[in-house]
Amino acid sequence: MMNADSMTSIVTQLNALTDGLFLLSCFAMVAMRQILACLKIFIIQACLLAVSACLLGYLYATEHLFWVASITVAAKVVIIPWLLRKSISDDVYARREVSQVLNIPTSLLIALGLAIFAFALTSPLLPATAGPAKVNLPVGLAGLFIGAFVIAARREAVPEVIGILAMENGAFLAGISIAPTLSLIAELSAAFDGLVVVLVFGLLTRRIYKHVGTTMVGNLTILRED
């Protein structure tokens, strides 16, 4: 049987590994061309967030983080993807290539720059959050930035919604390391916020698609008066 110390160090490493994969999933979201693949990456990202919350819950011995994990799984792995699939017609998902403002290698390098910026930004804060969760803060912040970049770089409505949700994932990942005993009501309200956002966006996109026949947000720029 392993002693408690080596168990703790393994769980710490696993948490760091989960965070590393989370960072990778943020990059993957920038690189994916298909909308459906974007959605799948988002589901994986939410799963990784839940795993990280569980591992930190074990390390800090708080049940709040397990609640966070279960809320994340329920809202972001099951309900939000289902809502996105239901509210928007299949034609949108069937399209093969999402158009982007920049080509993919350039976008990836910009995302990398954002991640380095996030790491540089949080490095003075790290001594304050010393402990097993010290990877969560920079990775979460990087997720936040890259989510914002996804919103800016994509021209389609659905990936932009996924970008907003990825920002929220990043914020949660950073949050659980700073405030492991946040009250449940805050987590619940944040999760409901996400749900409402998806519902509103989904219905709006559906209406736009019905009236205009496209969900290309990028085309909105040609709507100006001369």
**Smaller CB distance to other proteins: residue 130 or 223?**
130
**Smaller CB distance to other proteins: residue 112 or 208?**
112
Residue 205, judged by CB atoms within 10 A of its CB (0-12, 13-18, 19+), counts as buried
Integer Cα distance of 27 and 52 in angstroms: 18
If binding is defined by CB under 8 A, does position 37 make contact with other proteins? no
Segment interacting with other proteins (CB under 8 A) among 9-17, 36-44, 59-67, 69-77: 9-17
β-bridge mates for residue 154, sequence order: 100
Integer Cα distance of 167 and 146 in angstroms: 7
Region 109-128 residues binding other proteins, contact defined as CB under 8 A: 109, 111-112, 115-116, 119, 126
x-marked contacts with other proteins along 128-167 as a string, rule CB under 8 A = ------xx--xx----------------------------
Integer Cα distance of 177 and 135 in angstroms: 9
Region 13-32 residues binding other proteins, contact defined as CB under 8 A: 13-14, 16-17, 19-21, 23-24, 27-28, 31
Integer Cα distance of 182 and 178 in angstroms: 9
